[in-house]
Amino acid sequence: MKILTLNNVHKIYNESEVQVHAVNGVSLEFDKGEFAAIVGPSGSGKTTLLNMIGGLDQPTEGEIIVDSTNIGSLKPSGLIDFRMYNIGFVFQAYNLIPVLTARENVEFIMHLQGRPRKEREARSRELLEAVGLADRMDSRPSKMSGGQQQRVAVARALASKPKFVLADEPTANLDSHSTENLLDIMERLNREEQVTFIFSTHDNRVVKKARRVITIEDGKVESDSTQK
């Protein structure tokens, strides 16, 4: 089932003297349940592309359709709600709200969605168990390692039951052990619960775990392949 379509998407930055064509005519389709990596050297346009998919940035040209909604047609405040209900985000860093515990962070979006307390508590417990942090539920982010924080971020991204999770270099700040651990968790959630993950990286160990690898360079799709 197709959940995400990009049609000839362009992004041109005009902010400085030189024009930057960060994304240059990208067309892609994603099905439910994918575990896809977007790979490319620094400056190739990965972040720009993921931001547009996540509705955080508008394409200069082209359209992005999530589950039959063209997100370019949404008003700013509608877009915020759209993100809250449809997309899970994991960023490279500064993901969590520092004054909230792991569990409160996971519940945060469910709060925004106005879900009842019982449901929030049950789901946050379940998700934190799934990412192996059942014993750290009441810790604040500053008391957790970078890897643990990213696992909380994954749990939070899933809390809202999004259509897919976008992760922009989620392992960039992690050591190799934590990287492996986070990827295993993401893979398991993908396999067992059919959570769709689209993540960017330039780490080869991460690339190896992906089932689909999309390589971009200079804002263009170089290759798009499925591995084992």
Partner 1 sequence: MREYVKLAWRNIWRNKRRTLITAASVFFAIFFALIMRSLQLGSYSNMIDNAVTLYSGHLQIHAKGYWDNKSINRTMVADDQLMGILDKQEMVRQVVPRLESFALGSSGPQTKGVMVMGVDPAKQDEMSNLSGRLTKGKYFQPAEQAAIVGQTLADYLRLGVGDTLVLLGQGFHGATAAGKYTIKGIVGIPKPDLDNKMVYLPLQTAQQMYMAPNRLTTLAVNLHEHGDLSAAVTNLRNDLSGSRYEVKTWREIMPELVQQIRSDNASGWILLAILYLIIAFGVFGTVMMMINERKREFGVMIAVGMHKIKLAVVVTLEMAFIGLLGLLAGIAGSMPVILYYHYHPIRLGGEVAESIKDFGIEPIMPMAWQADFYASQTLIVAAIVVVAVLYPIYSITRIRPVKAMRG
Point out which residues bind partner 1 (CB under 8 A).
51, 54, 56-57, 77, 80-81, 83-85, 89, 91, 94-95, 97-100, 108-109, 111-113, 156-157, 160
Q: Which two tokens stand for residue 140?
A: 């604040």
Find the binder of ligand ATP among 8, 13, 70, 94 (CB under 6 A). Answer: 13
> Footprint of Mg ion on residues 2-41 (CB under 5 A)?
none
Q: Which is nearer to partner 1, 57 or 63 (CB)?
A: 57
* Residue 148 binding ligand ATP, by CB under 6 A: no
**3-class secondary structure, 64:** strand
* Residue 40 binding ligand ATP, by CB under 6 A: yes
**3-class secondary structure, 200:** strand
DSSP per-residue letters across 156-168? HHHHT--SEEEEE
**3-class secondary structure, 202:** coil
Write b or e for each residue in 190-215: b if 16 or more Cβ atoms lie within 10 A of its Cβ, otherwise e: beeeebbbbbbbbbeebeebbbbbbb
Rounded CA gap, 213 and 182, in Å? Answer: 18
Write b or e for each residue in 1-40: b if 16 or more Cβ atoms lie within 10 A of its Cβ, otherwise e: eebbbbbebbbeeeeeeeeeebbbebebebeebbbbbbbb
Phi, psi (rounded to 5 degrees) for 163: -70, -35
Q: Which is nearer to ligand ATP, 13 or 94 (CB)?
A: 13
> Footprint of Mg ion on residues 37-56 (CB under 5 A)?
47
Find the binder of ligand ATP among 46, 103, 136, 151 (CB under 6 A). Answer: 46
Find the binder of ligand ATP among 9, 34, 48, 181 (CB under 6 A). Answer: 48
Q: Which is nearer to ligand ATP, 12 or 137 (CB)?
A: 12
Tell the smallest beta-carbon distance from residue 211 to ligand ATP (Å). Answer: 21
Q: Which is nearer to partner 1, 50 or 133 (CB)?
A: 50
Report CA Rg, the chain.
Answer: 17
Report the partner that residue 57 touches, choosing among partner 1, ligand ATP, Mg ion, none (CB closer than 5 to 8 A by kind). partner 1
Q: Which residues bind ligand ATP (CB under 6 A)?
A: 13, 15-16, 20, 22, 40, 42-48, 202
